[in-house]
């Protein structure tokens, strides 16, 4: 996986790192090429050895999206699935792309090489994901996000990855394996927008942490100030 240069994402990342009254927002957008580096190729071989006899096309079960109940209740009268139920499937090569993206983004602090396919889920729709992100950032940041950052953020992402053509996955790790839990986060998310045709993934992660925690990312700027 190769991190692609994107000045527009750099600008958004500056605006997504902000300090509020009682919390800090740390957000990050990154674009990755799915072309494997020499290091990735070594890891890919090792990844396959862990499951001897499997091919890159073999399917593995995914977990349900974290907020699947909301989607189910909004679109169907049927009861939402029980927690822990498996849903949807993913081929091993795509799963490797997701894990490699996590490792590239959080290197050297975390290693997700042994994450299970059940730690990931495929999201129901683009609209569902947008609503989840808008709800969290809108509630936390207020009008500054809704009226200033929201449109710029989604349109910039669309230009980079063509959102409507993406399969969208999320990472939902156990609490003891979640980077956001190290900072006592109020909330956090990890979304992968995978465009198979472009062979590219846009990774979007964001968390809200109490002000008393220092994320170690340096000085932050409030969202309203970043637009002055």
pLDDT tens figures, 35-87: 988 888 888 888 877 655 555 568 889 998 776 544 444 444 444 444 444 46
Q: Evaluate whether 104 touches 1 at the Cβ level (below 8 Å).
A: yes
Tens-digit pLDDT profile for residues 145-170:
888 899 999 999 999 999 999 999 99
Calculate ∠ Cα 22-10-3, nearest 5°: 120
pLDDT (0 to 100) of residue 54: 54
Burial 96-128 (b: 16+ CB within 10 A, else e): bbbbbbbbbbeeeeeebeebebebbbbbbebeb
Looking at mean pLDDT, say which of 16-20, 22-26, 190-194 comes out highest: 190-194
Residues 26, 29: Cα–Cα separation, whole Å: 11
pLDDT-based confidence at residue 213 (cuts at 50, 70, 90): low
pLDDT (0 to 100) of residue 177: 85
Residues 201, 192: Cα–Cα separation, whole Å: 6
What would you report as the CA-atom Rg of the chain, rounded to the nearest whole angstrom? 18
DSSP characters over 123-168: -S-HHHHHHHHHHHHHHHHTHHIIIIIHHHHHHHHHHHH-GGG-EE
Q: Report the SS3 class of residue 203.
A: strand
pTM for the whole structure = 0.82
27 exposure class (CB count in 10 Å sphere: 0-12, 13-18, 19+):
buried
Residues 2, 36: Cα–Cα separation, whole Å: 7
Give every CB contact of residue 200 below 8 A, 6+ residues apart in sequence: 4, 31, 32, 33, 34, 160, 161, 194
Give every CB contact of residue 69 below 8 A, 6+ residues apart in sequence: 80, 81
What homologous superfamily does CATH list for 2-226?
A: Repressor of RNA polymerase III transcription  Maf1 (3.40.1000.50)
Could you tell me what percent of the chain has a pLDDT over 70? 80
130 phi and psi angles, rounded to 5 deg: -60, -40
Strand partners, 120: 171
């Amino acid at each position: 996986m190769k991190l692609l240069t994107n000045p527009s994402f750099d600008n958004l990342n500056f605006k997504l790192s902000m300090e509020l009254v009682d919390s800090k927002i740390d957000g990050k957008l990154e674009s990755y090429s799915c072309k494997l580096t020499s290091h990735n190729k070594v890891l890919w071989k090792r990844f396959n050895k862990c499951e001897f006899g499997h091919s890159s096309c073999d399917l593995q079960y995914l977990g349900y999206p974290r907020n699947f109940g909301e989607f189910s209740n909004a679109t169907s009268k049927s009861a939402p699935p029980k927690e822990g139920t498996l849903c949807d499937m993913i081929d091993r090569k795509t799963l490797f792309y997701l894990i490699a993206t996590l490792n590239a983004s959080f290197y050297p602090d975390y290693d997700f090489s042994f994450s299970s396919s059940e730690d990931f889920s495929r999201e129901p729709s683009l609209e569902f994901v947008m609503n989840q992100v808008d709800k969290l950032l809108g509630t936390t940041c207020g009008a500054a996000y809704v009226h200033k950052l929201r449109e710029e953020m989604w349109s910039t992402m669309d230009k980079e990855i063509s959102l409507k053509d993406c399969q969208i996955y999320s990472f939902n790790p156990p609490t003891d394996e979640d980077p956001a839990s190290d900072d006592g986060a109020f909330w956090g998310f990890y979304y992968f927008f995978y465009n198979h045709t472009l062979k590219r993934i846009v990774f979007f992660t964001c968390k809200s942490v109490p002000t008393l925690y220092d994320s170690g990312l340096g000085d932050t700027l409030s969202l309203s100030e970043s637009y002055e």
